[in-house]
Amino acid sequence: MRVPFDRLALALCCCGAVNSASAQEVESTGSDPALEAELDALLEEEADDLDVVVTGSRVETPAGRAAVATETIRREEIEQSGARDAAELLEERAGLQLSRSFRGTELWLRGMDPQYTLVLVDGDRVPGRVGGAIDLSRYGVENIERVEIVRGPSSALYGSDAIGGVVNLITRDSERDFEAEAMAAYGLNHVVDATARVAGRPDPHLRLRLDGGLHYAAPFRRGDDEATTGSERLLWTVGGRADWRPSERHRLRLTADYLQLTLRGVDEGAGAALFDRTQLQEQLRASVEHTIRGRDGLTLVTRFTYSQFREQYLSDQRGSQALDSYEDNREHMGQITALLRFTAEALGSHTFTVGYETLHRALDSDRLVEVGDRSRFALFAQDEWIPWEGGDASLTVVPGVRFDLDTQFGDQLSPKLSLRFDPVAQLVLRASYGRGFRAPSFQQLLLRFENPTVGYVVQGNPELGAETSHGVDVGLEWEPIEALKLSAGFFRNDLEDMIAIVTVDDPSATGSVFSYANLATAWTMGLESLATLRVDDTLGLIAGYTLTETWDGEQERRLEGRARHRVTLAARLAYAPWEISFVARGALMLDRVFYVDEDGDGLEEEIFGEPVAQVDLRLAKRFTRHLELFVGVDNLLDAGDTFTALRPFTVYGGARGRY
């Protein structure tokens, strides 16, 4: 069963009709001062992004009452970090590990591979997984208002891929009648950044935003050979948004953005053959969203999003054409989402979120035996129930469930139960259990790749089922004093029916034939702790430690590359009379194991990576409310090795102007 895009368009029209009918019903009630006061409060809450989170429940929720623990990186912190893109922003966060390759930067959350973490932009899935990973370095920070991170299984709300957690990049809105911003920076080793943004309200009912950015970094080498460790990168982005609010009850939002990333490097093949590699990646996203707000917290959101990702890959062998190759991969994705959130006081203190989601994906690749085409339909529901509340103490119970029907692998049911207990105002206890799944990729289903030089064939398996998981989280947050916040937690994830590479017996083949099967198992578990100290706007300290244990059930060994111990530190010092601020960020990775066949006997030996300590510094001085100058150092200790492709020690400086 396949659902083409014309049916998606028909479903979108139906959603729009439902929204229009709801709008007429709400507006027919006439003017109600109590309702208008409530709506004004809601709009003020929406404008104040510091007080709300959205990822844990898919709708805006006051951060202090969120049942699902959500880590938030806000705009001020993003600017102070000196990060150029989302990957650099996250690499020194507690519990996260970034891995770099010639194709970009991927995120390992709680010791799990990148295909088990769902990456969203404004709550929407993004295309362009390469090798199962979303390259976070594709997303410059110039248009990111905040980043929300939800750890643990989240398939009950989001479906496939949300086994390890969810990372949601939320883009910026206009807040004043007119605002403009520009930034330019240059670093040694030829690192260049330039961004600009204009936003405003030409009409009381209309908000507009336009932004763009350019980021360049020269290639680098860690060894003495010709092959590059890090690719040359040229990224440029452009995007815009229009918000129309004809009344307090309605908002129509149109968003569009485009990015282009060019990567160039030199790879070394068998027999010391050298290949000049060029990759051109393009991504387009456009969305239409309509929001209605009514009485008693009623919120109805319908959204349609279309996105496209294209990667062209050229490998040109020096001195020969025998092994030259070119690939052209194109992915199309259409999403329709309808969300309804309401409070049912008649049933007690219940806040329900129910929704419907349609996802259609198509992939055209030179390596697939046919065009990949799939549709997924989902219904989900969540209830935030407060069965007991007294004084500062309360208990919140959040059951949720999602049913997915996929045209290629069948159906999946994903339940989750979360508990939040506040025995006193300063203490929060949380626990959750969730079941997650990951749908097999088009490559695993439909791949057909032959390597006649080496003598092997890899073919997909259209009979693959979904990978599944069970996850448990237990944690606490304690604020003994207003300036100090402590948190600690335990997690465990068990993965089953994992897709593994297997050898296929094919008498007609001239070489080895490999395929995929649901055979493997794995688990990850660990401890996470974080301490945050903030003294007014003068001093801020954050220290985190993560212990991660992993196990590969198929190979009966630890999962490769995961840091067993990871320590993160961040400090911010500001002196208001001089309008100066200093930020230091650091991360230390210890005890990583890799498996390499060093002597060519066909057996892999254990290799333990050296400790990696990454330290970044940034000093900023504001001269007027319109101008800020800054200098900084990335990778102060020049960390990096064969397994960790960090950009070398870099000094940079720049200016930011605002109006």
pLDDT of res. 285: 97
pLDDT above 70: residue 593? yes
Distance CA 134, CA 146 (A): 18
SS3 state of residue 116: helix
SS3 state of residue 127: coil
Closest CA to 63 of 74, 75, 79: 74
Four-residue CA torsion sign, 13, 15, 19, 22? positive
Domain span at residue 90? 5-658
pLDDT above 90: residue 7? no
Q: Which pair of structure tokens corresponds to residue 539?
A: 């001093």
602 CB burial (10 A radius; 0-12, 13-18, 19+): exposed
DSSP type of residue 462: T
The CATH number for 513's domain is 2.40.170.20
pLDDT digits (tens, 9 = 90+) for 66-91: 888 899 999 999 998 889 999 999 98
Q: Where are the beta strands (DSSP E) in 154-247?
A: 165-171, 178-187, 191-203, 206-217, 232-247
pLDDT above 70: residue 216? yes
Provide the mean pLDDT of the chain.
87
Q: What is the largest CA-CA distance in the chain?
A: 81
**What average pLDDT does the segment 146-175 reach?**
92
Confidence band of 614 (pLDDT split at 50, 70, 90):
very high
Distance CA 599, CA 397 (A): 56
pLDDT digits (tens, 9 = 90+) for 290-313: 999 987 778 999 999 999 999 999
User: Could you tell me if 521 and 496 are in contact, meaning their C-beta atoms sit under 8 angstroms apart?
Assistant: yes
pLDDT above 70: residue 13? no
pLDDT of res. 206: 95
pLDDT of res. 452: 62
pLDDT above 70: residue 4? no
Distance CA 612, CA 589 (A): 5
- Which of 329-333, 587-591, 595-599 is predicted least confidently? 595-599
pLDDT of res. 58: 85
Single-letter amino acid, residue 557:
R
- Which of 140-149, 241-250, 503-512 is predicted least confidently? 503-512
Single-letter amino acid, residue 452:
P
What is the full DSSP assignment across 23-84?
HHHHHTT---HHHHHHHHHHHHHHH-GGGEE-TTTSS-EEGGG-SS--EEEEHHHHHHHT-S
Distance CA 195, CA 83 (A): 13
pLDDT above 90: residue 507? no
pLDDT of res. 509: 61
Distance CA 175, CA 514 (A): 55
pLDDT above 80: residue 22? no
- Structure pTM? 0.88
Residues counted in the chain = 659
User: Could you tell me if 277 and 298 are in contact, meaning their C-beta atoms sit under 8 angstroms apart?
Assistant: no
pLDDT above 60: residue 31? no
Give me the number of domains the chain comprises. 1
User: Could you tell me if 379 and 418 are in contact, meaning their C-beta atoms sit under 8 angstroms apart?
Assistant: no
Q: Per DSSP, what are the bridge partners of residue 413? A: 403
Query: Angle CA(106)–CA(197)–CA(332) in degrees, nearest 5?
Result: 45
Closest CA to 171 of 144, 131, 147: 144
Tell the residue number behind the tokens 């009709």, with chain if given: 17
